[in-house]
């Protein structure tokens, strides 16, 4: 060992332990520091660290934010990431992750992790599903093996993973289904929410340090959303998600629903819009009172050569960037924009080099976290309306990033 070097334990990442020996912060506490219209900025305090809101959670589907190391994800400004129950239960398996010390230690991320319930992936990825009051039986998209995911099993998996924010199990139906189908799915989701609550509360030590969020359903229908919210509030959760949106209904319909749905939930608890989204989706949702977001878009787009900039998204595969010596976004302070040109990134993407996906993803995540930082500052100073107008004007001012 070199002179002066510090020996690191196997569970350490970087120079500090993966988590403190004694966690003294509260289990879960949400405080609102400022409001601007319906928008709020504040802090969620948890034992593994504070989460500044509005917050964007990078998606770490299979125990990794694709093309990024954990320390680099944190360096973009992320306070929390999302893990996926469905994918992790199938591979490598929740029991295996538990034997290896839990998801934080497994992937070397020392801050909060929110795990979704797996319900969306069961519905969208598995060709053969059968829904019943018990849960959803399905075949794995990996090997065709049969599985049953119920509220109790979903909560158990999230407990085995060691999730900090656990999501209740729910049933999602498209907004194109009939009102009767939407009502039946919402009512079943509320029964599952109660079973999720009971299963979480029986979780011993994990329940004593983690939080549980309920998920509002009801598609685009205000009355169904209100009935769902009332049922969730009667059960009681640490936070509430607005589910069933960003599934093809379009931005106008989503915003119309967000004009009323967040206000039906507890104003003193965080509100999480699942699976959103594009930068202008996020700005509009924050204006309507949403506190938390997640989406695969910045990482998926980065791997496919698309970069987000304040003047709109750009496709680095386009030949016109072959000799463009400018950074991706001249207003961006990220390490990628500080070192590399569009021409170089164009070359990496066109050549299929892994570094291209890494650098593009790093920039996109930095862009998203920078947007959240700007939104928090605008709310704190009472200037959100002007910030949002300026952002939309620039972002939609041609859509070329030039």
Q: Burial letters for 72-85: b for 16+ Cβ neighbours within 10 Å, e otherwise?
A: bbbbbbbbbbbbbb
The reply to whether 116 belongs to the active site is yes
Q: Is 120 annotated as a binding residue?
A: yes
Q: What is the C-alpha separation between 202 and 40, in angstroms, rounded? A: 33
Q: Is 116 annotated as a binding residue?
A: yes
Q: Is 295 within any annotated ligand binding site?
A: no
Which entry of 79, 110, 291, 294 is annotated as an active-site residue? 294
Location of structure tokens 């304040």: 310
Say if CB 287 and CB 37 are below 8 A apart: yes
- Provide the terminal-to-terminal Cα distance of the chain, rounded to the nearest Å: 50
Q: Outline where 221-321 has alpha helix (H).
A: 222-235, 251-258, 279-287, 297-303
332 labelled as ligand-binding?
yes
Q: Please, are residues 115 and 142 in contact by the beta-carbon 8 Å criterion?
A: no
Is 34 in a helix, a strand, or coil?
Answer: strand
CA 159, CA 196: separation in Å to the nearest integer? 12
Cβ atoms of 328 and 363 within 8 Å: the answer is yes
Nearest-angstrom CA–CA distance, 212 and 164:
9
The residue annotated as part of the active site, out of 116, 164, 281, 329, is: 116
The answer to whether 337 is a known ligand-binding residue is yes
- How many CA atoms does the CB half-sphere of 158 hold within 13 Å? 37
CA dist 213 to 136, 232, 239, 259, 384, Å? 20, 9, 5, 21, 27
Say if residue 118 carries a ligand binding annotation.
Answer: yes
170 marked as part of a ligand binding site? yes
Binding residues for substrate: 116-120, 170, 217, 244
Binding residues for Zn(2+): 332, 334, 337, 363
The set of catalytic residues is 116, 294
Binding residues: 116-120, 170, 217, 244, 332, 334, 337, 363
């Amino acid at each position: 060992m070199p002179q002066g070097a510090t020996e690191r334990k196997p569970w350490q990442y970087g120079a500090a332990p993966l988590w403190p020996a004694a966690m003294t912060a509260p289990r879960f506490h949400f405080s609102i520091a400022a409001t601007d219209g319906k928008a709020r900025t504040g802090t969620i305090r948890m034992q593994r660290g504070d989460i500044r809101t509005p917050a964007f959670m990078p998606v770490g589907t299979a125990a990794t934010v694709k093309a990024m190391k954990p320390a680099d994800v944190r360096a973009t400004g992320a306070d929390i990431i999302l893990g996926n129950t469905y994918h992790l239960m199938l591979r490598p398996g929740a029991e295996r992750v538990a034997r290896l010390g839990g998801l934080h230690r497994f992937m070397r991320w020392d801050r909060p992790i929110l795990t979704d319930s797996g319900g969306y992936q069961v519905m969208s990825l598995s060709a053969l599903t059968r829904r019943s009051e018990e849960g959803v039986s399905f075949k794995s998209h990996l090997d065709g093996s049969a599985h049953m995911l119920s509220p109790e099993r979903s909560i158990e998996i999230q407990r085995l993973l060691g999730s900090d924010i656990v999501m209740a199990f729910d049933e999602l139906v498209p907004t194109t289904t009939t009102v009767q189908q939407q009502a039946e799915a919402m009512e079943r989701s509320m029964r599952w929410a109660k079973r999720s609550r009971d299963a979480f509360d029986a979780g011993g030590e994990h329940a004593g340090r983690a939080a549980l969020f309920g998920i509002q359903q009801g598609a685009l229908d205000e009355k169904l959303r209100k009935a769902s919210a009332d049922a969730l509030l009667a059960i009681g959760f640490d936070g509430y998600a607005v589910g069933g949106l960003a599934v093809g209904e379009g931005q106008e319909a989503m915003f119309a629903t967000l004009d009323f749905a967040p206000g039906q939930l507890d104003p003193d608890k965080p509100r999480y819009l699942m699976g959103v989204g594009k930068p202008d989706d996020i700005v509009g949702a924050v204006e309507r009172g949403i506190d938390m977001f997640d989406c695969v878009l910045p990482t998926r787009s980065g791997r496919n050569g698309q970069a987000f900039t304040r003047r709109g998204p750009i496709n680095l595969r386009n030949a016109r960037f072959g000799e463009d010596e400018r950074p991706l976004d001249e207003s961006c302070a990220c390490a990628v924009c500080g070192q590399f040109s569009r021409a170089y990134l164009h070359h990496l993407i066109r050549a299929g080099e892994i570094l291209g996906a890494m650098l593009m993803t790093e920039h996109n995540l930095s862009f998203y976290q920078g947007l959240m930082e700007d939104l928090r500052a605008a709310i704190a100073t009472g200037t959100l309306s002007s910030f949002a107008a300026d952002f939309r004007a620039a972002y939609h001012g041609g859509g070329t990033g030039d």
